[in-house]
Amino acid sequence: MHVRDGRRSIEPLEMDAVPTESRPQTPANERGAILLDLMMACGVALIVGGALVTTSVRQSAHRAVNHETTLANNAIADVFARLRGLPFADLPSLHGTGFDVPNHLGGPGGLTAQPGDPDGLPGEIQVAVYASGGSTVLYRVTVTVAWRGAAGNRRERVIGLIGERRS
């Protein structure tokens, strides 16, 4: 700012008026810092990528477990409906019988039996007398599906009571 003839005049600022010495200088020991940045970026990328893959794998496993459980429950419900349709006197003879679980397209082998399963079939029917009185018998029917799937060994079990149908 200058004072000329009692009037003040403002001169434009000059951009290069700032002395070079006042600029921040990159210290010598910061050279190559970009490599450190890269490594950090790689680390972050690896963590994000790993998380993404883990999420995807977990989601697939979760879906597979749901899928397997649905197949097992469908097979159990089907077996119970068929048991109800059989002659009542035939029920005890089905104790220990195994059955297959259909896959999602209706074909055989939907689930794999657990290692050591005697008949190699994932399903099993167990029939036991629950109560009896006079000529009336009530059977306790347990239908189990035990399989080895995406989350290791799993089992679904439904227990029902079946009595003789009148009329």
Partner 1 sequence: MSDRTNAESGVSMLELLLGVAFLLPLLLGAVQLTQTVGKTVDSNATSSQCMAQLQRAFQTTAEFAQSCKMSTLRMRAVASDVALGLASAVGEWIEPSDLVWRPGLRFLSASGLLSMNARLSTSQREIDFVLDPGEVDNDLDDDGDGMVDEGQIVLLHEGTRVAVLPNVEHCQFMLEGRVLQIRIGVARRGGDGGVERAVLQRSVFLRNN
Q: Where on the chain is the footprint of partner 1 (CB under 8 A)?
A: 16, 20, 23, 26, 28, 31-32, 34-35, 38, 41-42, 45, 48-49, 52-53, 55-56, 59-60, 63, 66-67, 70, 74, 77-78, 81-82, 84-85, 102, 104-106, 167
Name which of 45 and 131 has its Cβ closer to partner 1. Answer: 45
> Burial letters for 51-77: b for 16+ Cβ neighbours within 10 Å, e otherwise?
eeeeeeeeeeeeeeeebbbebbeebbe
Name which of 88 and 117 has its Cβ closer to partner 1. Answer: 88
In whole angstroms, the minimum distance from the beta carbon of 150 to partner 1 comes to 12
Alpha carbons 110 and 74: distance in angstroms, whole number: 11
Dihedral sign computed on CA atoms, order 29, 30, 35, 41:
positive
In whole angstroms, the minimum distance from the beta carbon of 92 to partner 1 comes to 19
Name which of 67 and 140 has its Cβ closer to partner 1. Answer: 67
Residue 61 exposure: Cα atoms within 13 Å on the Cβ side: 11
Question: 131 has which bridge partners?
Answer: 138
In whole angstroms, the minimum distance from the beta carbon of 116 to partner 1 comes to 29
In whole angstroms, the minimum distance from the beta carbon of 68 to partner 1 comes to 11
Name which of 75 and 146 has its Cβ closer to partner 1. Answer: 75
With a CB cutoff of 8 Å and minimum separation 6, the contacts of 68 are 111, 147, 149, 150, 154
